[in-house]
Amino acid sequence: MSWHFKAIGTPAKLAERLEKETENHHGQCLVEYNDAKPHLLGLLSQVFLADASVQPLIDLEASGSGYSKDGKQADRSISVSLKQIHGFVG
């Protein structure tokens, strides 16, 4: 199964959205997403939330896939892109 997440926002808003994203997954996808979520939140925290007074605009895209065999996780992969958007005119 596979899951995908893409959002643009401030680090704090992205962290909130990552938490709510759990509602959009079920079964094997939910297992994979819930295992990846702490790492995604950790990346946001370490890279962009260290100074909460700075809230740049971030483009976060992540996806993962995997499968289980006989009830055990057999294979997993994840791809993450985390970029600050510069020069945004809004």
Does residue 35 belong to any structural domain of this protein? yes
Does residue 72 belong to any structural domain of this protein? yes
pLDDT digits (tens, 9 = 90+) for 69-86: 887 877 889 999 999 888
Does residue 52 belong to any structural domain of this protein? yes
Helix ranges (H only) for 1-90 are 11-20, 27-48
Q: In what order do the strands lie in the sheet with 2-9?
A: 2-9, 58-69, 72-84
54 backbone φψ class: left, alpha, beta (φ>0; ψ -120 to 50): beta
Does residue 9 belong to any structural domain of this protein? yes
Is the pLDDT at 88 greater than 70? The verdict is no
**What pLDDT sits at residue 52?**
65
pLDDT digits (tens, 9 = 90+) for 7-65: 999 988 999 999 999 899 888 888 889 999 999 999 988 888 666 677 889 999 999 98
State the total domains in the chain.
Answer: 1
pTM, whole model, 2 decimals? Answer: 0.83
